[in-house]
Amino acid sequence: MKALVYESFGQMPEIRSVPDPEPLPHGVVVRVTATGVCRSDWHGWVGHDPGIPLPHVPGHEFAGVVEAVGNDVRTCQRGNRVTVPFINSCGRCAECASGNQQVCRNQMQPGFTHWGSFAEYVGVHHADVNLVALPESLDDVTAASLGCRFATSFRAVIDQGRVGAGEWVAVHGCGGVGLSAVMIAAAIGANVIAIDVAADALERARAVGAVATIDAAGVDDVAEAVIDITQGGVHVSLDALGHSVTCRNSILGLRRRGRHVQVGLLVAEHATPPLPMERVVGHELEIVGSHGMQAWRYDAMLAMIRSGILAPQKLLGRTISLEQSIEALTTMDRPGSDGVTVITGLGTA
């Protein structure tokens, strides 16, 4: 099959012909019809996750068709249209048994623990607990954009943030995760403030439901600006970027007993940010993490998409070829908010 491959971290990837994957007894092979280009793929390529096996094929949010099925798989068959969460669970550990597959202690991640979806085919492990059937009404490009950014934001807003109608919500960082969070929070009736340094990102945030925006580069104190708009602070705040500054601003902009959700990955020099713990204690603030979403929770999200309450297709940007994905991947650290980039034209029937 044809795939994007890099031999070492930071090395320019190449398009190569590599062996097709074979299904494990509990797994399947999916013919990839579309796959998103995500900043997490960039983090992997530069070496922020040294556990990635080399040489490597990135890609972790995809849609496709089941092409081959392992002997132990019971819940799907060849020809099914599917996607998967970016966290693939084992289905057997204590976390999985409690329904929390997103923090499975034996988790696998296509594009990280094994070769991913920047290829014509990708292997999925433990298919019975990880595959999500796609409705016919959902096209492949939109479906491919759900697996990391949109699904992660859905759980961060709905399950971890427990956002309710009428509450004030701040979203720090309006990339793919942040814009998804803005849309989802607005859809359930929250008043959303979007914060970013890019004017076009803030414009897109307004287009998907933000009632107010803050140019973080144009104010002296982002948290004070949030407090001024809300007359006391937000009920829920999400750091959708993953940066020491946005994390701190998110916490400081909360009202008393507010809830901070850390959804953006804090890596490299931002991995251990200084936090205003005196505020956390004195105002009884909650700080929670959010890490992906379980396959079984997709039903709620897909129902809201089918009904038109959520419209993830509005967050899409350009579609590109696998050859163009080299530039798209290696420049993910540069500013830009032109929507989710999706690779198409991969596996053909």
Q: What percent of the chain has pLDDT above 90?
A: 88
Give the DSSP per-residue string, 142-168: HHHTIIIIIHHHHIIIIIIS---TT-E
Predicted pLDDT at 316: 93
Strand intervals (E) in 160-304: 168-172, 191-196, 212-215, 234-239, 254-262, 286-289
Q: Is the pLDDT of residue 88 over 60?
A: yes
Query: Where are the extended beta strands (E) located within the chain?
Result: 2-5, 14-17, 28-37, 62-69, 81-83, 121-124, 132-133, 168-172, 191-196, 212-215, 234-239, 254-262, 286-289, 316-320, 340-344
Q: In which residue ranges of the chain is CATH 3.90.180.10 found?
A: 2-149+293-344
- Class of the CATH domain delimited by 162-289: alpha beta
Could you give the residue range(s) of every CATH 3.40.50.720 domain in the chain?
A: 162-289
pLDDT at position 40 is 87
Of 39-43, 95-99, 243-247, the poorest mean pLDDT is in 39-43
123 against 333, higher pLDDT: 123
| Res. 156 pLDDT band, cuts 50 70 90 | very high
Confidence at residue 266, expressed as pLDDT on a 0 to 100 scale: 73
Q: Please give the share of the chain, as a percent, with pLDDT higher than 70.
A: 98
Q: At residue 65, does pLDDT exceed 70?
A: yes
At residue 335, the pLDDT reads 67
**Tens-digit pLDDT profile for residues 285-342:** 999 999 999 999 999 999 999 999 999 999 998 999 999 999 999 998 876 557 899 9
91: confidence class by pLDDT, cuts 50, 70, 90 = very high
Task: Give yes or no for a contact between 253 and 234, defined as CB atoms under 8 angstroms apart.
Answer: yes
pLDDT at 186 over 90: yes
Q: How buried is 15 (Cβ within 10 angstroms: 0-12 exposed, 13-18 middle, 19+ buried)?
A: middle
Q: How far apart are CA 290 and CA 297, in angstroms?
A: 14
Q: Indicate the pLDDT class of residue 349, thresholds 50, 70 and 90.
A: low
**Which residue reads 């929670």 in tokens?**
288
Which class does domain 2-149+293-344 fall in? alpha beta
